[in-house]
Amino acid sequence: MKVNIYYGGRGLLDDPTLYVLNKMEEVLYELRVTVERINIYEHKNEIATLPQTMKDADGIILATTVEWLGIGGYMQQFLDACWLYGDKEKIQKTYMQPVVMSTTYGEREGEMTLANAWELLGGLPCQGLCGYVEDLVSFEVNEDYTLIIEKKAENLYRTISQKVKSLPTSNLAVKQSVLRTPQMELTPQESEELSKYVSDDSYVKKQKEDLKELASMFKDMMGKVNQDEDTAYIEQFEEKFVPQPDFSARYLFLLTDKKKPLFIEVSRENLTIRYGQEENIDIYAKLSPEVMEAIISGRMTFQRAFMTGEMTAKGNFKTLRMLDTLFNFG
C-alpha cells in the first residue's frame, strides 16, 4: 500500500500541520505503508504536473494550514491542477483524507472545502482531521491529542485496505448535472503531456538568464565588482558577533544566489564561519540575498524575517531566536 501526502502550507517551523503529519507518518510506517510526502511549496513552478504523482498511490492525504482565511493558495492551485490535468479515472479509485490545522479560525470550513473538492473530482472520501492550535508546545505534549491523530492514521489505513464504501452524495449529482464545464476530451497520457507543457518555464528561465547576463555586463562596465563567492557576508557577521557564555549551535544558511551554503558555528566565545556543506546542523534557514542584505544592514531582524515568511527555517525555535542575540546588526 502507498499513501501520498500533499502538504499545502508554507513549511514554517511552528506549523502545527507538520507535527500532525509526522505523527501520522510514524503510524503508517509501522503498518508497513509506503509514504511519500510532497511539499507543494517546493514545486510551486510545476504544480500542474503534481497530479501525475498520484499514479501509484492507493490513497492520499491533503494537508494544509489555515493561517488567516481558507486553505491557502498552494493547495488551491493543486486542486485546480487536478481538475484540469488530473487522471479522472485514477482519482475515482483514490481515497483522500483531509487534514487541516488552524492557528486562527476556519479549520472545519477548510476540511469541508477539501472534502467537497475531492468529491467533485470524483474521488473517494475518508474521514478527515481538523483542529485549532493556539500553542504548539502544549499541543505536542498532550497525549490525548496524539492518540486522536494516531487513530485517524489507522482509520485511513483501514479504509483503504478494506475498500470501504460510502453512500452517494449530492456533490456527484451536481457534478453530473450542473458543472458542465467545457473541457477537451483527453486521455491520461495527453493530460500528462499538457500539464508538463503548462508548467514548462524554460522560456522564462532563458529570459532571466539573458537579463542576468546583461546586468553583469553593465556592472562590469560601471566598474562594479561582485563580492567573492566565498567571502560575502562573512566580514559583517564577524564584526557584529556577540559571544554568549554556555551557548553553542551550528547554523546553515541556504542563499538563493550562492552555490554553496553559508555555515556558521558558535561555540561560546568562538565563531567559525565559511561557505560549504556541513553535517549535524541545528538550524537550516533559506532566504534571498535581498533579505540577508536587509538583516546585516539593520533594517530587519532574523526573527522578523522568519515571522513574515521571507526566511524559512527548520530546527529548534529557541536556537533560531538566538541569532539576533548572537549578531547585533541593529
Residue 192 has pLDDT above 90, yes or no: no
Question: Judging by beta carbons within 10 Å of its beta carbon (0-12, 13-18, 19+), is residue 271 exposed, middle or buried?
Answer: middle
Residue 2 has pLDDT above 80, yes or no: yes
Residue 296 has pLDDT above 70, yes or no: yes
Enter the CATH code of domain 234-326.
3.30.1050.10
Q: What does the pLDDT read at residue 17? A: 97
pLDDT above 90: percentage of residues in the chain: 68
Alpha-carbon span 8 to 76, nearest angstrom: 8
Q: Where are the domains of the chain?
A: 2-197, 234-326
Q: What is the mean pLDDT of residues 133-142?
A: 94
Alpha-carbon span 9 to 64, nearest angstrom: 5
Confidence of residue 18 (pLDDT cuts 50, 70, 90): very high
Lowest-confidence region among 12-16, 170-174, 219-223, 321-325: 219-223
CATH 3.40.50.360 fits 2-197, yes or no: yes
Q: What does the pLDDT read at residue 226? A: 47
Residue with cell 554553496: 260
> Which positions ≥6 away from 175 have C-beta within 8 Å?
120, 122
Q: What does the pLDDT read at residue 316? A: 86
Q: What does the pLDDT read at residue 225? A: 45
Answer yes or no: pTM beyond 0.75.
Answer: no
CA-only gyration radius of the chain, Å: 23
Alpha-carbon span 226 to 220, nearest angstrom: 9
- 217-269: per-residue pLDDT in tens? 766 665 444 455 568 899 999 999 999 988 999 999 999 888 889 999 999 89
Q: What does the pLDDT read at residue 117? A: 94
**Are 5 and 61 in contact, with CB atoms under 8 Å apart?**
yes
Tell which wins on pLDDT, 224 or 163: 163
Beta bridge partners of 267: 248, 270
Please compute, for residue 147, the number of CA atoms within 13 A of its CA located in the half-sphere on the CB side: 3
Confidence of residue 169 (pLDDT cuts 50, 70, 90): confident
Give the residue from 60, 187, 63 showing the smallest Cα distance to 124. Answer: 60
